[in-house]
Structure 1
C-alpha cells in the first residue's frame, strides 16, 4: 500500500496476507474466525495458497487453506480490462485463525457518491518495485471518483487526484479490504481489484479499483454459511 503510515491497530487486526505457490501475494480480510474474504483473481485454479501469520518478532508462519470458493460470475478478461466483474472469493483455513486476527464486519449495501471516503488497508508494497516493503499493514484514505456504481468503484488520493503519484493500492494489495464508516464503526464495503499509476499509467499511486460487496454480499453470506463459518455480527 502506497501510504504515509502503518494501519492503526483497530484496522490492521482484520487483514491477512495471502501467498501463492506461483510467487503471488495478496491481501484478505478475516470476516470470521475461520474465513477470509479476498479477490477471486488472487486465488486462481492450479496453484496452492497459504495464509501468513506474523508473531511478535515479525516472524512469519504459514497457515494451510482447506477450501476456496470463487464467485461464479468472476471473469479474468473483464478484470484485465479494468471492467466490473465479480472479483470476490472466500478462503477457509484448515484451522481457526490465531487470536491476533479479529473478524471484520460486512458493511450493509450502500450507494457511493463522488467524494465519499473509504479506507483501504493492504499488506502490499509501499514502493513499486521494492520487493522488501510488503508484509506490513498500511492504510490509505481515498475518495470515490468518476461514476461510482454498485459493480465498481474508482478511488484516488484527494491530494493528487490520480494526476501525480499519491496514496493507493500497489502490488500485493489485491483483495485488500476497503472500509467505510458506519454507525457501529468501520466495516468492509469492498475489496481491491486493480490499481494504476498516475494518469492511468501502469503501476501504483493513481487509481485504486474496488469491487464493492453491494451486489455480492448475499453470495458471501450464503457461501460462508455453507462453509460452516460464523460471520462477525453486523
Structure 2
C-alpha cells in the first residue's frame, strides 16, 4: 500500500491544487498538558495572516517563511496548562537566506523556514522541542496546528488540533519536501492532514508527547480521488529540519544576541532581517 501511495504521489500533486497549509483536517483537540500544547503556538500578523509555529527555545519559534511576507506586526499565542490563550509580541524575524519572497510554497526554490525572536521568554510551562534527525519513509509522525478543521468553515480556525500522519517519501519541484498522508486513506480519499492555518506547525517523531522535531508544515493539497476541488485533506508537505540544523542553531544564537531595537530597523542590518513592533 505504501508503494502504491508513492506511485500516486507525483501524479496527484500535479493535478491537485496545492496551497499554503494555513488547521488540521481530521485532527483532534489535545488534552494532554505535556503534549503539543506545550510546544505549538499560533502565529498572527496585524494584516490578518494566521499560521502556526514550533517552540525551539524560550524566546525562539520556528515557522514557515511564507507566513510572514505580508508585513505588519507579529505576535504569537500560546496556551496555558488550562488551555487558555495568552499573547506575546515578536521582536524580530529572520527567514532562511535561500527563501525567495513572492513565490508560492510549492514553487519555492529556497527553504520555507523562518525564526521568530519573542520580546520576552515564553512561560515556563512551555517545553521547547529538540531538533531531530532525518525523517524516514514509512515513519509515523504527529503534526499540530491552529488552522481549519473544515476547509470551507473559517470559524473552525484558531483552535489547536493534532493528528498522526504517515511519511510516504520525497516530493521535488524547486526544492525537496517530505510528504505525509492520512494513515488509512493514504492521500487517495479525504483524510487527515494540514489545511489553512497549519503552515509553520511542528511535525514531531512518533506520539504527541515527543520532543523530537523533524519538520515544519509548508503546504497542503487535496486527495487524488475526489470530484470536489479541495486544497486540504490529501497531502501534507513538510520542510525537514535535519538538513537545516546548522542554520537554525546559528540563526537562533544571532537572534538571542539582539538587544531591544529602536523603532524600525537598525542601521547596518542585513536585508534578511525585519523587526516587528
CA contact 1:74–1:87 (8 Å) conserved in 2: yes
Compute the RMSD of aligned alpha carbons: 2.5
Cα distance in 2 for partners of 1:206, 1:4 equals: 13
Question: Corresponding residue for 1:232?
Answer: none
Matches within 5 A, 1:1-234: 1-7=24-30, 8-9=32-33, 10-44=35-69, 46-54=71-79, 60-76=85-101, 79-82=104-107, 85-108=110-133, 110-113=134-137, 115-147=138-170, 151-181=176-206, 185-199=210-224, 201-228=229-256
- Higher Cα Rg, which structure: 2
Q: Shift of residue 89 of structure 1?
A: 0.6
Question: Corresponding residue for 2:262?
Answer: none
Q: Shift of residue 57 of structure 1?
A: 7.2
The total of aligned residue pairs comes to 226
CA contact 1:85–1:211 (8 Å) conserved in 2: no
Question: Corresponding residue for 2:266?
Answer: none
Consecutive unaligned residues of structure 1, counting only runs of 5 or more, are 230-234
Q: What's the TM-score once normalised by structure 1's chain length?
A: 0.86
Q: 3-state SS of the aligned residue for 2:256? A: coil
Q: What's the TM-score once normalised by structure 2's chain length?
A: 0.73
Cα distance in 1 for partners of 2:56, 2:116 equals: 10
- Measured against aligned partners, the alpha-carbon deviations of 1:195-230 in whole angstroms (never above 9, x if no partner) come to 01112854210000111012211100011111227x
Consecutive unaligned residues of structure 2, counting only runs of 5 or more, are 1-23, 258-277
Q: Shift of residue 193 of structure 1?
A: 0.4
Cα distance in 2 for partners of 1:143, 1:14 equals: 21
